[in-house]
Structure 1
Amino acid sequence: MKYFTKIIPVLLYLTFFSAAKAQNIAEKYDHYNAFKELTKNKVLHGYFEPHWFENSTSFWYSIQTEDGEKYYTVLAERKKKTELLDVNKLISELSIISKKSITREEITDIHPSDNLKEFTFVYDQNVWTGLLPSYKLSIKEPYKKPTRPEWSMRRRDLSGNNPVESPDGKWTAFVQDYNVWVQNKETGETTQLSYDGGIGLYYSSFIQWSPDSKKIVSSLYQPAEKHMVNYIESSPEDQIQPKYSSIEYYKPGDALPQSYPCVFDVTRKMMVASCKEMIPNQYNIGRPQWRNNSESLTFEYNKRGHQVYQIIEMNAETGNCRALINETQPTFIDYSSKKYRYDVNDGKEIIWASERDGWNHLYLYDGETGKVKNQITKGEWVVRRVEYVDTLKQKIVFAASGKEGGDPYFLYYYSINFDGSGQKLLTPENGNHRVSFSPNYKFMVDSWSKVDVPPTTILRSAETGGEIMPLEKANISQLLATGWKKPEVFSTKGRDGKTDIWGVFLKPSDFDPSKKYPVIEYIYAGPHGSFVPKDFSAYYNRCRQSLAELGFIVVMIDGMGTSNRSKAFHDVCWKNIKDAGFPDRILWIKDAAKEYPFMGISKVGIYGKSAGGQNSTAAVLFHPEFYKVAVSVCGCHDNRMDKIWWNEQWMGWPVGPEYSASSNVDNAYRLQGDLMLMVGEMDKNVDPASTYQVCNALIKANKDFDFLVLPGKGHEWGGEYGERRICNYFVNHVMNVEPPRMNSSDFGKRLIKTDIDIDR
């Protein structure tokens, strides 16, 4: 009896403690559900998108102010800013016409006209027109929601183009019986120019005439077998039975078509130039481009494996072919995000981007000799993009990062002369700069901020960078009143002990520095970019803010193997996608926990989507000593199963054993922690079979894991439902707390209809 008298108080305490934890976590869920709306429109005078009027130096924009939403026009030449549109007046007039109370949320797509005398907007499935300044409103037409083109690898039929007319209108060129023909439009006479086309090796009907109408270029095309991915849509909206479909989708190692440009002289009725032997093992051939004098043309050759990229010139007079620019790398050429070419004065000079000195910079080539005249930009920093080239002044305006010290990812804007002299910083303020140029590139709207510093926006001269007039300076007092906490920036040394690794972390709005918070990493380590936020934001989607509000510290880090730093920094990913910067990430989190004792890293969680889905599963497979819990959404878990361009660029070609070494499928047996896999059954970005194959390998290895299929969904997070399931998983497996159950007798819950991330 004494035994029971001792155990009962303990049971009562545990029951009370569990109930308290359940109540606490339920309150946190209520808070995270409300937090996005709570912070909405709380940043006043923040970011805006300038809408430049066509062929003008004037623009309009909308902004949230203390007095509500405002629309302004700015006349840059006159340094004049004027209120354009009163939204409250619009709502009042529309309410009178509709005979009911209208809210701002019911009105979308407000867009002033170039003449500033009217505007359009969308309400109740119609496009409306409003006159200024009278606000007389009328229905213009039914609203057609714009459709986003679906990402596709489908190749066009090169034999199906219509006849192509010459610039002088005297000839047409076409393909008949797989060969190239021309027809004299005056006489009707036809002439066959090629004779080697046939089934399986035919000439493209997408023919280009030379400017003088005397020559044409077509490509002898060798098609390859199509690779199809098949789908079953289990739960279509418009019928009970499933739907079956297929898409064209190419993966590493698949055969690729080959295209061999050939030049024909119409007057001599013969082929005059071909360079088939110069372009073996093509990944891609860029569209041929004639010079204005019709004597030559160029095209771009990307050799499979992405270690050779050339501009090849074909001389239509002599038949000679040569590599005008020959770019090579022992690892990979980042052709998909760093390639830049600009032909100056019809190719007399060529501006070209290269990482040959270890950093992405611009070079000026002599377009006739193919020799480098000079390196335009240089130094241990990175040219990120070219905004425009002024051929008269021989000046380039570009964005770059890493030159100004501090965060090496902050974008700044510069101008420089073709010969590399006169480099000028146009946006000197410390922060990440967003810039919009006027159509004539005379003016620029510049907004700069940091994740913990709200934006300031001014109008500048695009030539000197000088300030012309202030536009907006953000006020976040209302945001701070909600309890919102600024993200914190942290940097430390990476695996080499020398390189700075940068990241940020989010804290809950009820943050208490005396408490210990478990850490969750949001990861996306795709080598095609860098991904840690640099701009100010009041809310971070993709579960990041939600997890923070539930009581986690959410970290985001750019480790080695991602882009926008040195070539050596980037090359870590080469044939080694599984690395994902984890040695740097783990050091960063450990060092951050030393600096900030409120970070609890005894049971670190990690999650991500797509490449981040591959990364998060790789974390618990290859680094189980550190990462204990993972959620992976729509992951490309085996690089042999994902799209060809992305994976061959980083993992190389031919497909070698390194693909297996980085595969989450082949290494599934390593799983030690907790893992939830999610996939949309209709994912057309990453073959959903990639996730199913991880499941299969885990089952064969007798591993425990969780799996959620999203019927009808594509390459996405799964809406509010997916967000809740991700949050639940970390609450349950990291916090060891039972999340609130949604299953109950309450049938009044609204259906899940919204997505947390619409990005593909």
Structure 2
Amino acid sequence: MIFSKAKMPVIFILLNLVLFQTKAQQSKLSPYAPGAVEMASAYQLSAKLDTALRNIPTNNDIVPYWKKDGSAFWYKKNLPNRTWEYYYVDAASGKRKLAFDHDIVARNIEKITGKKQNPLKIQFAELYFAEQGNTAKIKIQDNWFQLNLSDFSLTNTSDTTIYRYFAKKALQQRRSRWQRNRESPKSPDGKNEILIRGGNLFVVDLKTKAETQLSTDGNAGKPYGDFEWSPDSKTIVAYKTDPKEIKKVHYVLSSVPGTTRGELKSREYAQPGDDFTAYQPYVFNVSAKTAIKVDADPIDFFGPPDLHWRSGSSRYYSYEKVDRGHQRFRVIEVDVLTGKTKNIIDEKTKTFIYESRIYTRYLLKTNEMLYTSEQDGWQHLYLVNTLSGKQSLITKGDYVVRDIDSVDAIKRQVWFRACGMNNREDPYFIHYYRIGFDGNGLIDLTPEKGNHSLSFSPDRKYYLDTYSQVNVPPVTALRLTASTKKITEIEHGQKEAYLATGVKLPEVFVAKGRDGVTDIWGIVCFPSNMDASKTYPVIENIYAGPHDSFVPKNFLPASEMQSMAELGFIVVQIDGMGTANRSKAFHDVCWKNIADAGFPDRILWMKAMAAKYPNADITRVGIYGTSAGGQSSTGALLFHPEFYKAAVSACGCHDNRIDKQWWNEQWMGYPVGPHYEEQSNITNAAKLQGNLFLIVGEADENVPPESTYRLADALIKANKNFDILSIPGMGHSDGGIYGRRRKRDFFVKHLLNAEPPNPNISK
């Protein structure tokens, strides 16, 4: 279990000892306190370093564009100062070469287009290497050319046929459960067509045009609709609907060019507790003209689902149902002759089922299906017999199946990605695997330490594996899929160019969470010119949304965190309990408890970090975040004022009742209970201590702007001091360039007690 009361006193004793030692160490140091001139210089150096770092290429994401036969691919390699070259790789040998002579091709493009070309910035709208013959087809602006790869000459071509194949992620694209069926009114045998008139269901004989009415109880208020034919064209599954109007939210664009009045914008936006349209399934026998109400509750959450018919049968179909409140997931089978149902899968939980992480794949020929579940405490893959409902575990252990790449029903293998399987690594590092349906034959396709991104050739004979860590540059290797043997390294990044700028690469830090057992992972960004005799305020970049984990895992020499650190801060990011991609128990901390935001773990982590790094001054801690991070950063001042002293909160969802229904009910539950109000920043506004800066875009269509304005109203009524910035025309954002500059100024003023440069004073 995450919480262990027996261990808590021990934790506090250890923490007090750590804090005592930390204070003793820091008593020998003095706070970093820059003057106006030094502060202005820090801003300039931060901007210069940020620019220098971003002009050094990382090649974190090599994207291969494969030939149709899978024998070769090309890719674009980033070079310094935002330039690039194109490379061509023969897959079998691993030999890599420049795809063409960039200087000659640039000159030839100049001749055709009349526009000057930089050989290291050639841009193609399309590039395709022919399967046979030493040629390629390229599209420049709207014109197509054939490139002779022997002399690099260009000729006009009318043949624009190309083969596109690339994959940034080896993930299967699957349809959201929010998306409705694609209705086809015509029957599979082509003889009949469905017609909805006056809310009732009719069938039209396409040959005779004769109409047959199948339902009589529908009307405009509660119509039939959202239908689907059985494979044999004898049965129609349709839904009688009880429509509910989705309520609207509004905002005003204050500064539309060419106008003198604000422009009102309105849109549908469901909030927690709002009513949804309900769909009661019926089955209609076309020839017998009969209707049977399916023995199942109406679908009152999501729309009509996909139907999965048994292979070779039109008598049974199954569908997925997630109950509102996210505490029950079912796969329900329906007998269309009787309307009776049975549950193939019926999973229940006292907390939540993370609906959008459920993977299902139906193996109709063998009456099986694959699906993922956290029922044993970790997200794992199961094989289910759809006739008996019997389940068998495919993957097993204290790790998380993150997603499914593909399924080979013939070889009975599943290809997936997971994290936490390698005990001596960061448990968030993604690795790719394949395994048999019986749970045997596990193969790690990505054995090297690091966070991996993998893509296959069209025939899956080869794959590219790119991996890195926040402070270890990326490597891209070409491998054989069958054996995982490495053919060659395509790219291998180096640190030297980054370190030459003087930057300190992020450091990974791990400390125990609130239970004294669980490891909490995060990163630390230090100023490049940190004075060992000084202490520096700590700023946390927070996003604690329960839908994922957020601490970067790929190579990260340049970031907003590093840029802020250069002003005289130690900037950190942490994944506390309540976020995803760890155990179910770790995740469950967020259940009806979003205000927790993992703060007990974050605070312990920073205290432990300060013990290791005495230059970190945790008596001056700031925090910033956007969206859910905006909610949490304000919550830090309201609920943990003893630790956090300043916060910048952009477009925060400050009350979960104001925010979007689908996200908040997933974690806060349904129906809306008193815990929604108890955890609201607005309800708790009078508790504010410390310094708060609110940022909101007036055109935010993700989190309604009134969430921030209502918080401001509550703070005013509580007679609290705070700053607020409303940006005309801006949507869901941290404030853009202007907002980010104001955020830095705010922390400089309130944590460093320094004066930021004033842009209103001309130089």
Residue 6 of structure 1 corresponds to none
SS in 2 for 1:363: strand
The structure 2 residue matched to 1:641, chosen from 658, 682, 693, is 658
Letter in 2 for 1:73: Y
Which residue of 1 is the match for residue 646 of structure 2? 629
Deviation at 1:131, TM superposition (A): 2.8
User: What corresponds to 2:543 in structure 1?
Assistant: 524
Q: Distance in 2 between matches of 1:314 and 1:671?
A: 55
| Partner SS, residue 165 of structure 1 | coil
Instruction: After TM superposition, give the deviation of residue 53 of structure 1 in Å.
Output: 4.2
Q: Among residues 165, 178, 187, which one is paired with 2:186 in the alignment? A: 165
Equivalent residue, structure 2, for 1:386: 404
The separation in 1 between residues aligned to 2:725 and 2:235, in whole angstroms, is: 59
The equivalent of 1:73 in structure 2 is 88
The CA deviation string for residues 367-415 of structure 1, in whole angstroms up to 9 with x for no partner, is 111221x111111111111111111110111111111012111111111
For residue 130 of structure 1, report the CA deviation from its aligned partner.
6.4
Deviation at 1:358, TM superposition (A): 0.6
> Matched residues in 1 for 2:120 and 2:739: separation?
25
1:363 aligns with one of 352, 367, 382: 382
Q: Equivalents in 2 of 1:156, 1:376: separation in Å?
A: 29
Aligned amino acid, residue 60 of structure 1: W
Structure 1 spans left out of the alignment, 5+ residues: 1-17, 141-152, 747-760
Match of 1:739 in 2: 756
* Distance in 2, Cα, partners of 1:28 & 1:105: 33
Q: Among residues 228, 234, 243, which one is paired with 1:214 in the alignment?
A: 234
> Match for residue 466 of structure 1?
485
- Give the superposition deviation at 1:64: 2.8
Conserved in 1, the CA contact under 8 Å of 2:60 and 2:555? Answer: no
2:16 aligns with none
| Pair 213,640 (structure 1): closer, same or farther in 2 beyond 3 Å | same
CA distance 1:120–1:740, change in 2 (3 Å): farther
Corresponding residue for residue 618 of structure 1: 635
Q: Return the letter of the residue paired with 1:393.
A: K
Aligned match for 1:182, one of 193, 196, 203: 203
Shift of 1:24: 1.2
- Residue 57 (structure 1) shift: 5.3
Aligned 8 A contact 2:33 2:753 in 1: no
State which of 26, 33, 44 in structure 1 corresponds to 2:47.
33
Q: Is 1:556 paired with 2:573?
A: yes
Distance 1:44 1:634, change over 3 A: closer
Measure the CA separation in 2 of the matches of 1:62 and 1:127.
21
Residue 44 of structure 1: how far off its partner (Å): 6.0
Matches within 5 A, 1:298-317: 298-317=318-337
- Verify the 8 A CA contact 1:642 1:686 in the aligned structure 2: yes
Residues 70 and 86 of structure 1 are in contact (CA less than 8 Å); yes or no, is this contact kept in structure 2? no
2:509 paired with 1:493: no
Aligned residue for 1:263, secondary structure, equals strand
Change (3 A) 1:163 1:650: closer
2:698 corresponding residue in structure 1:
681
Percent identity over the alignment is 45
1:209-248 matches, cutoff 5 A: 209-248=229-268
Structure 1 contact 341–351 (Cα < 8 Å) conserved: yes
Match runs of 1:66-215 below 5 Å? 69-77=84-92, 79-95=94-110, 101-103=116-118, 108=123, 110-115=125-130, 117-120=135-138, 129=145, 131-133=147-149, 134-136=152-154, 164-204=185-225, 206-215=226-235
CA distance 1:268–1:404, shift in 2 (3 Å):
same
Displacement after TM superposition at 1:455 (Å):
1.1
Tell me the TM-score normalized by structure 2. Answer: 0.88
Alpha-carbon distance in 1 for matches of 2:80, 2:571? 31
CA contact (8 A) 1:107 1:122 kept: no
CA contact (8 A) 1:492 1:501 kept: yes
CA distance in 1, matches of 2:529, 2:143: 44
Alignment partners' CA distance in 1, 2:520 and 2:470? 16
CA contact (8 A) 2:506 2:557 kept: no
Q: CA deviation at 1:138?
A: 7.2
Q: Indicate if the aligned counterparts of 2:180 and 2:304 stay in contact, CA closer than 8 A.
A: no
Partner of 2:515, secondary structure, is coil
Asked if 1:290 is matched to 2:309, the reply is: yes
| SS of residue in 2 equivalent to 1:557 | strand
Cα distance change on mapping 1:60 and 1:216 into 2, 3 Å: farther
Select which of 607, 619, 623 maps to 1:602.
619
Q: Decide whether the 8 Å contact of 1:57 with 1:439 is kept in 2.
A: no
- 2:352 aligned residue: 332
Q: Match for 2:705: what amino acid?
A: P
Question: Is the 2:138–2:144 Cα contact (8 Å) retained in structure 1?
Answer: yes
TM-score of the superposed pair, with normalisation by structure 1 = 0.88
Structure 1 counterpart of 2:351, which letter? T
Instruction: Say which SS state the counterpart of residue 194 (structure 1) adopts.
Output: coil
| Distance in 2, Cα, partners of 1:156 & 1:366 | 26
Between the aligned partners of 1:341 and 1:448, the Cα distance in structure 2 is 28
Whether 1:512 and 2:531 are equivalent positions in the alignment is: yes
Supply the RMSD in Å over aligned alpha carbons: 2.7
Q: CA deviation at 1:506?
A: 1.0
* 1:44-74 deviations in Å (ceiling 9; x for gaps): 6654122334564543211135896221233
Cα–Cα, structure 1 residues 316 and 74, in superposed 2: closer, same or farther, change >3 Å? farther
Q: What do residues 8-50 of structure 1 show as CA deviations (whole Å, max 9, x unaligned)?
A: xxxxxxxxxx997211111111122233321134246654122
Residue type matched to 2:290 in 1?
M
Range 54-63 or range 631-640, more displaced = 54-63
Q: 1:644-687, CA deviations, whole angstroms, 9 ceiling, x for partnerless residues?
A: 01000100111001101210000011101000000110000111
Give, in whole Å, the separation in 2 of the partners of 1:246 and 1:392.
51
The answer to which structure, 1 or 2, has the higher relative contact order (CA under 8 A, 6+ apart) is 2
For the pair 1:399 / 2:417, whether they are aligned, the reply is: yes
Deviation, 1:219, is 1.5
User: May I ask how many residue pairs the two structures share in their alignment?
Assistant: 707
Greater mean alpha carbon deviation, residues 524-533 or residues 51-60:
51-60
Matched, 1:348 2:367: yes
Q: After the TM superposition, which of the residue ranges 375-384 and 578-587 deviates more from structure 2?
A: 375-384
| Larger mean Cα displacement after TM superposition, 76-85 or 550-559 | 76-85
Cα separation, 1, equivalents of 2:681 and 2:362: 44
1:63 corresponding residue in structure 2: 77
Residue 722 of structure 1 corresponds to 739
* CA distance 1:20–1:404, change in 2 (3 Å): closer
What CA distance in whole angstroms lies between the structure 2 residues aligned with 1:130 and 1:722?
Answer: 47
